[in-house]
Structure 1
């Protein structure tokens, strides 16, 4: 396998009962690459991220994370392998401040104070407002600030793979642009990123490659720019029979 490939998903099946929500999914993402996963509501995008992060066990298939095959692993094991998920809705902890959230991101990591400080400084460099609001509880932050904190929390682990589920929900356009600018900066530094996003035009403009999910299956993959006007993408959203 190419040394730049961070994650390979092979024949992934996953769901919440006997009938899989996602089936026969094959994906890969490399260092310095943004892979967009797009599809209509109910296509299985969040379920796929749950399977890739270990929150949902695989019914079939396997993952390969930085060359390490994974068949049955929970979220703790995948976190240790360098997979970080920013879930839809942020899921922060009321009562904990911004600083406490960032320190929590270092949990169970044996780092020197210097390295821990460098990681925190990098997060606040990307999102300066988090330094300004460092003593504020998460629940008093704006939606945009909460999204920045959720991403910062994931970045404190210096993940090999960063996954984001609908990061633009509820955010003002200027904040959405800021979040996507940060993701572009991370990609330029070699970060591998998978992003699920309903703002299809926006994410395809920023991603390198895209996978279109329809009824739990990947029906087309390719360069993101080439998929913008692809009728198969429109078919996946409109439920027509153009996808083959």
Structure 2
């Protein structure tokens, strides 16, 4: 699914060189809605190779450059800069973040607890004549992904390594009933990425709101969105409210 491309049909006003509306299916709308749930740190890291603009990168860079003496002692800076995204949520937008999901699963996850433990022994409650003592082990109920974290109970560092066990691997693909919107209808996507269910009334109201006067200047354009286009769309959404125009018509003034 990593090479999957999503189609989007645009209605373009050639007189003003702008996208009036787009007609999209479930796959594109699910992609847009999923962008809201991606941590900002993941967005910055993902867009770094696409000449990210704006100020988010400056925040990321500031955290990366900040000396540990100025950070809270229990803070793991690596985790702040590399927030985890669940594989199950990534499954709804495979062409955008499939590589990140694959990377997440390929890196062994390690958890830590403090070294405290105690033993207690008591008679087994069995009704058999020959009873045996039952021994139980008690640990402090805290784990961390940072071996330098302190146990809230005893204050010792969490250095006892535990190994995280992944759930069975699943194919990253969009299944029926997954995602955000139903797939039995089309949706109107505005130039500013506002989404509405498709209807004759909504299409006419959009044309009126956009003050389209020359209907003969309107033409349809089918475009395709893959990983590169997804990154550019995400980047454009931070700097303009005419995202589709900027991305697909090359209008950098949008």
TM-score by length of 1: 0.27
- Structure of higher CA gyration radius: 2
TM-score by length of 2: 0.26
Structure with more strand by fraction: 1
